[in-house]
C-alpha cells in the first residue's frame, strides 16, 4: 500500500507550486513574482554643457522617483467645434436626432406622456463637437428637449 498523500519535493506546508510555461518547470508560486534588484543607473562621466530648464529638471525628477517611475505628461486636450457645412450639417443633425429618439424620454406635464427628448450627459459628451448646431437645429424644428 503506497503513501499517495505524501507531498512531493521540498515545498513546505504553506507553499503553492505552479507549472511555469516559459521554463517548463514546477516552481514555487510566489517566486515567479520576485524580481531581481534593479541596477542603479550609471552616471556618465561627461556632463552636458546645457543647463537644465525647470521643465527638464521636473522630468528628470519624475524619471528617478522611486515609487512612480517615469510618467509622461499628458498633452492638454483642445476642444474644437465641428466644421460641418451644408448637406453634411443637415445629415449630421438628422443622424443625431435619430440617435436621440432612441434614448429614454422625459415626462411632459401638458400632454401627460413621455414625449420630451432628453439629452443625457453621456450623449452630450459623446457628441460634444456637434452640440452647438444640433441644439440650434432642435430649436428651429420646434422639437422639445431638455
Q: What is the pLDDT of residues 75-110, one digit of tens each?
A: 777 888 899 899 999 999 999 999 999 988 888 888
Yes or no: say if 112 and 125 are a contact pair by the CB < 8 Å rule: no
Our measurement of the distance from residue 67's CA atom to the centroid of its chain's CA atoms, rounded to an integer in Å, reads 21
The pLDDT value given to residue 111: 85
The pLDDT value given to residue 25: 81
Yes or no: say if 104 and 130 are a contact pair by the CB < 8 Å rule: no
Yes or no: say if 38 and 31 are a contact pair by the CB < 8 Å rule: no
**The whole model's pTM is what?**
0.47
Average pLDDT of the chain, as a whole number? 79
CA distance 40 to 10: 34
pLDDT, average across residues 52-69: 75
pLDDT in tens, 98-146: 999 998 888 888 888 888 888 999 999 999 999 999 999 999 999 888 7
The pLDDT value given to residue 131: 93
CA distance 131 to 70: 38
pLDDT, average across residues 33-57: 66
Amino acid at each position: 500500500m503506497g503513501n499517495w498523500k505524501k507531498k512531493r519535493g521540498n515545498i513546505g506546508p504553506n507553499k503553492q507550486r505552479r507549472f511555469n510555461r516559459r521554463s517548463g518547470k514546477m516552481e514555487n508560486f510566489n517566486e515567479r513574482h520576485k524580481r531581481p534588484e534593479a541596477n542603479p543607473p550609471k552616471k556618465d562621466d561627461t556632463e552636458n554643457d546645457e543647463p537644465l530648464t525647470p521643465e527638464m529638471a521636473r522630468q528628470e525628477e519624475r524619471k528617478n522617483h522611486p515609487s512612480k517611475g517615469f510618467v509622461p505628461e499628458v498633452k492638454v486636450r483642445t476642444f474644437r467645434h465641428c466644421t460641418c457645412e451644408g448637406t453634411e450639417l443637415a445629415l449630421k443633425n438628422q443622424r443625431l436626432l435619430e440617435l436621440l429618439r432612441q434614448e429614454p424620454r422625459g415626462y411632459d406635464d401638458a400632454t401627460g406622456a413621455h414625449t420630451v427628448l432628453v439629452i443625457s450627459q453621456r450623449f452630450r459628451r459623446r457628441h460634444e463637437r456637434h452640440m452647438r448646431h444640433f441644439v440650434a437645429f432642435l430649436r428651429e424644428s420646434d422639437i422639445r428637449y431638455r
